[in-house]
Chain A
Amino acid sequence: MPSTILGKRIKRKEDPRLIQGRGHYVDDIKLDGMLHMAFARSIHAHARIKSVNVAAARSSPGVVDVITGEEIKGKLGLVPCAAGIEGLKVPDHPCLATGKVCYVGEPIAAVVATDRYLARDAADKIEVDYEPLPVVTDPEKALQAGSTVIHPELGDNVAFVARLEGGDWKAVESDSSLKVIKQRLINQRLAPASMETRGVVAHYSPGEETLTVWSSTQIPHILKTQLALMLGIDEPHCRVIAPEVGGGFGSKLNLYGEEGVACYASRKLGKPVKWIESRRENLLATVHGRDQINDVEVYVQPDGKVVGLKCWIIADLGAYHQLLTPAIPTLTALMILGCYHIKNVFVETKGVFTNKMATDAYRGAGRPEATYVIERVMDMVARELNMDAADLRMKNFPSPDEFPLDLPTGVTYDTANYQKTLKRLLKISGYSRLRKEQEKLRKQGKYLGLGLSTYVEICAMGPSSRMPAGGWEFGAVKVEPTGKVMVLSGTSPHGQGEETTFAQIAADVLGIPFDDVTVYHGDTFQVPMGIGTFGSRTTAVGGTAIHNAAMQIRKKMARIASHKLGVKPGELIFSEGKIHTRDGAKSMGFAEVAAEAIFAKQLPEGIEPGLAAHSFFEPSNYTFPFGAHLAVTEVDAETGEIKLRNYYAVDDCGRVINPMLVDGQIHGGLAQGIGQALWESHVYDENGQLMTGTLMDYAVPKAHQFPWFETETMETKTPINPLGAKGVGEAGTIGSTPAIVNAVVDALRPLGVRHLDMPLQPEKVWRILKQHATA
């Protein structure tokens, strides 16, 4: 029977309160006697701290306490890193610096005051005596002999070297008919820049010995465990609440030193302590994304079949590891082959310390880098062989019947039909017509470019064997005596809209109105267990747990109803708030059966009272959504300005629960991916000073900079979960960046341009135009 609610464009349950300003974010939490915290941060990228003088700050108006690194030593644990990489070097990462600082913005001391403004004023009065040390911000320089070593106790600046190899390289390298194409690609550092910055309210109750923490986080349950360890508090005494969270893009898949210090201060002072990050702090001291150098080498047959790919990755990790810092570039290695059946692979990933803020997950987290490498490379191959970029891709796609497909990278792609999305894209964009237009314009000296990107991503993270804290998800469904349903999820959506999709999933299983379902998440006292929201996992993994829990409820309700109605449970249908036989002759209301179950007057033998069920869903593999994108760009021949004329995207994220939310994810994702290609770059100077420390300098993409996006979705279901959903949170970001760069390079092809590094600022393009004009 087709679902009446799955796949429907249903408006978001969460929006009325959010768009009316009636939601509650961390900064809306106000508690009696609450104190406010501000941090003094390092102004040097690398320096010894000779002394920290807090006397003036202590006597500043409203100041209750000043906490330094020396004070918390041994009393507050280190900032954790959960990445499991063989031979990984992990430097000590205290919540507040002691002895030395390794990047600009590193917290040195915290001021606690009666008011946020007074705390900020006092933080300026903390005097730090620094002895500057040599600074290294370029990861290649950090690898050179004689470079300053950021953590001398670790020997050098190499945090890890990981190799991934598959296939028969001897055969490839001895085949003289193969063409070898090499290129260096730079994936620049970015700022996640979520709309809401970080924030925390820590409240330690000395009587009950409980710690309650409101945090703008994507992972309340993991945060709870880590804070309990950090502070030495019994975990059942620790509660973390993620209230409304205004975006994270991976940057809140973390535990930060500031959170630890807020908890420490609350326990020490016996009062609630709030810290709200400023935008400047957010750009400086919330994790950054990307920042890789990729040296790639591909081996191609004369007919365009790619047989081997090698890539050397230098990943700039920054000064310390945050929760998953070193794990992110290893995802690049895993997905480096994209959606092509390339049988030989070699990737060496080198993680390097520099005097900068840590990099970590940022929308896509390692996969946009991989997609950028392989999609730029495919365009270079097409050009080298004088083939059309679409034809070359078609030639290298595996056929749909080859799935599940084992790749030499060690991953197994679940299902796909790459040909179908690309063909559809070529059709809706009028690709061959655009190529003709391009030819005509080129004769007039005008630059029009077409850029393709056919991507695959790794989502629905993931099997527990591959995830540091487990990869399952928890879901629970409870039916109240009134017949209304409460759903609990261990995921922690922060803008994605799963209050809506989860309600759709539960309503579908139970045959009740969508409005009868209320979804809760983000509170560790309410939801007993959970992992969180990241890696495009929330619907595919978290949604499945809810689906499975709802199925248990349904089974139990069917048994109770069958007992009352005198039919077999299998004869009963759940629809429109009723539980009834197919012919409708025998029927009970959903609420009626709920009351039977809960009041427990005439339950069939062996049935326990109550209607509550939970499920831990453990996926057997990741999922691999895919899609095909086309960007059409024009280059202004006089100024080098790039105009994005059209953007087409055909995405396949498996089963779609709510098309409106999928559209939203794709649109936002496209904006961020295009932002990287055209505008965004987080720039440090050679002294380690951040040059793009405000939104006046760091170019976050804005709606008016984009054309209308033409998007379509297709549905190739995954067998990994019963919903068939794959995940879509990162797809747009992953697919779009190379499409833009491919389009601009294609536009400039008559000038002999083979590659341009991002962001494609107009001056860069103008210099090429100018060079060509004078040549």
Chain B
Amino acid sequence: MIPEPFEYHIPKNLEEASRLLAQFGGEGKILAGGHSLVPMMKLRLAAPKHLIDLGRLTDLKYIRESDGRIEIGALTTHFQIQSSSLLKEKCPLLPETAREIGDVQVRNKGTIGGSLAHSDPAADWPAAILALAGEIQARNVSSSRWIPASEFFVDLLTTALGGDEVLTAIRVPVAPPRSGHAYLKLHHPASGYAMVGVAAQVLLNEARHIESASVGVTGVGPKAYRATAVEEALRGKAPSRQNLEAAAAHAAEGIDVNSDLYASAEYRSHLAQVYTRRALEKALERAHGK
């Protein structure tokens, strides 16, 4: 439980952080809470030579609304999201997801940016950000860009961030009227990560049929993904149990499903379907209530 030697850097501003990251290339790693990275380092599964701690960049800790969007700074902790009254009103899927992450200590120290950049295949945030069709801001010394969530998660622990880019913010649309949300998760009994986690965001039309549904799934494959076949199957449909069940059957379609001591691939696929249907049911129930 002792990491390999590394050098620790604590930049005073984002520019310095970007510069350090560019300077160290593949040998540098951003520390933004450390609740995924540090355990891996202690097990010597990760051994960055340089650790660049964003802890001083307090201006990356914010939640604000502008132009019909919510923007969240990368260093905002899970607990800040869980307890934000703005988010509870404008984007309740995020606090609901935050509540399911780790334990109190993890939620108090871990950050949304750190989690997304780490891209653990069983982390909770990717499912929610995918379901919300969010965007992720990446900045390097000279430029800044917004990456759509659907392009951000590339593979196991791999994102679309460039070697010199720092993840600085996340933005998601404000939940429209007649929409509903849900995040349902089966916790791994040891790690607390998702054996399966499903984030659903639905929108009803005036006829109270499904205008659109978006579903983000984590814990099931090598990376979190949008269950597009489920979404397609629901477009314009009545929210009947039969329709939901038929759509949810596609939840793990085309996915190379994970297998471990607690859940085989077969069982996990089944869980993905059940949790998808249940998340949709809950989200629809809430949409109807509005």
Contacts and interface: CB of A to CB of B under 8 A. Distances in A.
- Interaction A to B: yes
A162 interface: no
Contacts of A279: 1
Given A683-B261, A763-B263, A278 B191 contact: no
With most chain A CB atoms within 10 A of its CB, the pick from B4, B193, B261, B274 is B261
Given A116-B2, A639-B274, A766 B189 contact: no
Interface string A292-314: 00000000000000000000000
Contacts of A704: 103
A766 B267 contact: yes
B186 A694 contact: no
Interface in A110-149: 116-117, 120-121
Contacts of B5: 117, 121
Given A280-B43, A766-B267, A679 B189 contact: yes
Contact of B1 (A280, A638, A697, A702): A280
B261 A692 contact: yes
Contacts of B1: 278-280
A681 B189 CA distance: 11
A120 B191 CA distance: 25
B9 interface: no
Contacts of A766: 267, 270
A63 to B, nearest CB: 14
Contacts, number: 56
B39 A641 contact: no
Contact of B190 (A121, A280, A641, A697): A697
Contact of A763 (B2, B39, B267): B267
Given A117-B2, A694-B43, A766-B267, A699 B274 contact: no
A214 B86 CA distance: 53
Contacts of B271: 639
A763 B189 CA distance: 13
B191 A696 contact: yes
Interface of A is mostly: loop
Contacts of A18: none
A695 interface: yes
Nearest to A638: B274
A72 interface: no
Contact of A696 (B39, B263, B270): B39
B264 interface: yes
B264 A763 contact: yes
A691 B263 CA distance: 14
A419 interface: no
From A116, A695, A697, name the one whose CB has the most chain B CB atoms within 10 angstroms: A697
B4 A121 contact: yes
Contacts of A43: none
Contacts of A552: none
A691 B2 contact: no
A698 interface: yes
Contacts of B263: 762-763
A695 B270 contact: no
Given A117-B2, A763-B267, A691 B261 contact: yes
Contacts of A767: 267
A183 interface: no
A405 interface: no
A700 interface: yes
Residue with the highest number of chain A CB atoms closer than 10 Å, among B2, B5, B103, B264: B2
Given A279-B1, A679-B190, A692-B190, 8 more contacts: A121-B4, A280-B43, A641-B186, A683-B261, A692-B261, A696-B190, A705-B189, A762-B186
26 contacts: A116-B2, A278-B2, A279-B1, A280-B43, A638-B274, A639-B186, A639-B274, A641-B186, A678-B189, A683-B261, A692-B261, A694-B43, A695-B190, A696-B39, A696-B193, A697-B190, A698-B190, A699-B190, A700-B190, A704-B103, A761-B189, A762-B263, A762-B267, A763-B262, A763-B267, A766-B270
Interface of A: 116-117, 120-121, 278-280, 638-639, 641, 678-679, 681, 683, 691-692, 694-700, 702, 704-705, 761-763, 766-767
Interface of B: 1-2, 4-5, 39, 43, 103, 186, 189-191, 193, 261-264, 267, 270-271, 274
